[in-house]
Amino acid sequence: MPYMYILECSDGSYYVGSCRNLDQRLWLHDLGEGAEYTKRRRPLKLVYCEEFSNVGDAFAREKQVQGWGRAKRTALIDGRYGDLPALSRKAFGGDWG
C-alpha cells in the first residue's frame, strides 16, 4: 500500500515523503540511501504515516504536507486536527491547506 510519512531527524527537523512500501523505504533511510536530506540527519524516527489506496494520492498528500510549516506538521503528528485550519490562517493570512 502507498504511504505518506513523516520522519523526525536527529537535528529535530521533519522529513516528509511518500512511497509504495513503507518498511523498505524506512530501511533505505536507515542505511543513508533514502534521501539526501536524511542521509546526514540520522538516526531517524517515524513519527507519522497515512495509508492510501493509490500512489498518486500519497504523493499529492506528501506535496501538501511539505508545504506546511513546522507548527502545522507538529499538530498533524500530535493528532490535533482541529488546529490545522488556524495554523494555515496564522501563517499566510488565509487557509492554504
Express each pLDDT in 47-88 by its tens digit: 999 999 999 999 999 999 999 999 999 999 999 999 999 998
Express each pLDDT in 10-37 by its tens digit: 999 999 999 999 999 999 999 999 899 9
Q: With CA atoms as reference, report the closest residue to 87 among 14, 74, 78.
A: 74
Q: Which residues contact 67 (CB under 8 A, 6 or more apart)?
A: 96, 97
- What CA–CA distance (Å, rounded) separates 48 from 23? 13
Residue 81 CA neighbour count, 13 Å, CB half: 1
Domains of the chain: 3-92 (3.40.1440)
Cell of 15: 522529513
